[in-house]
Amino acid sequence: MNSSAPSGLTGRIDEPPGRLLHDEVLAPQFRFEVEHLLASYVAVEKVLALEYQRMGLLTADQAAAVAVGLDSAAPAALSADPVANLSDLAFALERHVEAALAEPLPLWHVDRSRNDLQATAQLLFARQQVVGVAQALLGLWASLHRRAGEHTTSPMPGYTHFQAAQVITPGFHLAAFSGHVLHTLRRLLSTYDAIDACPLGAGAMAGQDLPWDRDRMARLLGFRAAQSHALTAVASRRWVLEVTAELSLFGAETSRFVTDLIAWGGSDLGFLDLPDELSGISSAMPQKKNFPILERIRGRSAHLGAFHTDALLGQRNTPYANLVEVSKEAGAHLYTAIDATRSLLRLLTAVVDNLRFRTERMLAACEREFLGGFALANLLTLREGVPWRRAQVLAGRYVVAAAATGRAPGDTDPELLAATTAAEGYRLADPATLLREAFDVHAGLAARRTAGSTRPSAVTDLLATQALDHDELRAQWARRAATDRAAVEETDRLLGLVPAGAGHGIG
């Protein structure tokens, strides 16, 4: 073998990776994995050392020595070297540990493949990132829930088809947003549990020759179970699609809520304000106070859909086997998607925490609009016996006629309503009361009787139910996070790296 050949890692090729391949592909991948996946690689290698010990291929002292060598593999100690390690993190770790051992261990790494090692490290990392996203979502929910509870009785116009439609409150709207966050937490929990199957022990694609205890290895890594099919374990990256799909769905619906905040913060409505530290200015128009943070949030939500599409297209029409195209390229933006989600959540939580609703402007906007038209039609039917469709027509005619006279909705005209209905033969007993009840803004909130409505007590009840859901979801996510921590502690305990009794009893 010539002096530039890979040192003892392959007999199949005589030359190390070329400069182009190293600079464009291998070195960037190596840096990413050292920064983000090193802890996962080390955790997997420790569990493998324990399995070698269980199968009698390593002694307890040898397995512990391997583990000590793995723990010494700090990022600064690892570098992409085309000759020494083929610019591959798995080989770099192997070489690092070998150099730290007092004596060679010929049986270490027997019957091993990088395919299941890499798949397991990637999935370990992804699960941890999903837990992190869930924790940020729980924080956003707490902010939304608190702010919603503060504004269950503050009237504002609700809009349909970009037109003022009915009286709602910020609390009512934010309760919908917090419900969306809870829904995402449930779906992410389901996704987490669905992908909670360990690839380790699948080998290259067809299983392994030695009697590896795949279920035990899975438990030691914090997984619920081993992936049942060896090919699926190394070929499938469906979990990348499932995670990015949930982030994409969250981003799409979140953008709609943020669009409402953008509209409410515009000068035409002026329903909300943000502190100066979360605001911007115009360089040319000194009268303007802008809220570009809302545009940033909505813009970043779009990236989440793009990252999912990227992963989807990267896997489409590829053979069902272990492929770099699928395992590396198609998942290249998974962490970027997660990082973008966390950034979006930090910004959005800050916005919710600092929102100030301008209740006087919201109330004035309600009082400018004939938002009680629907209520008036209901009252005409329920109290005066006007058939529903005719009641709709007559209520509409009253609104048009009253608006034409320049009257505000609260400045009711009982004679006009009486004349409008009399024209079709309906004699009203008390038109003044009908109009007062229909167009009183605060009465418009109280009039809603159904669960989930804008009625302040209904919003309060909904928020209470959401709080119970939140507590259960928070406990569920805490259990997932604790399982991962316990797995790491137990592996180290079995390797003799921590005192007995410090682990959590994984068998």
Q: Is the pTM of this model over 0.85?
A: yes
Strands 163-168 and 156-160: antiparallel
For the record, the structure tokens of 236 come out as 């499938």
Phi–psi pair at 340, nearest 5 degrees: -65, -40
Ranges of the chain whose pLDDT falls below 70: 1-7, 281-283, 286-288, 498-507
Of 146, 118, 133, 106, the C-alpha closest to 8 is: 106
What distance, in Å, lies between the first and last C-alpha atoms of the chain?
A: 46
Q: What dihedral angle (degrees, nearest 10) is formed by the CA atoms of 267, 268, 272, 276? A: 0
Token readout for 232 is: 């699926």
- Look up residue 456 and give its two tokens: 């302040």
Strand-pair category, 356-357 with 272-273: antiparallel
Q: What burial letters (b/e) apply to 103-138, b meaning 16+ CB within 10 Å?
A: eebeebbeebbbbbbbbbbbbbbbbbbbbbbbebbb
- Alpha carbon distance 225, 487 (integer Å): 13
Query: Is the distance from CB of 123 to CB of 239 less than 8 angstroms?
Result: yes
3-state SS class at 307:
helix
Contact assessment for residue 371 and residue 166, using Cβ atoms and an 8 Å cutoff:
yes
CB 333 within 8 A of CB 129: no
Contact 304, 333 (CB under 8 A): no
d(CA 380, CA 241): 54
Say which amino acid occupies 47: V
> Strand locations in 233-377, DSSP E?
272-273, 280-281, 289-290, 356-357
Which residue in this structure is represented by tokens 């192997």? 94
At residue 7, the pLDDT reads 64
Taken in order 305, 174, 287, 361, is the CA torsion positive or negative?
positive
Q: Give backbone dihedrals phi and psi of 156, rounded to 5 degrees, phi first.
A: -150, 155
The residue type found at 398 is Y
Question: What 3-state class would DSSP assign to 159?
Answer: strand
State the pLDDT at residue 502. Answer: 43
Residue 109 is classified by DSSP as: T
CA quadruple 215, 216, 217, 220: dihedral positive or negative? Answer: positive
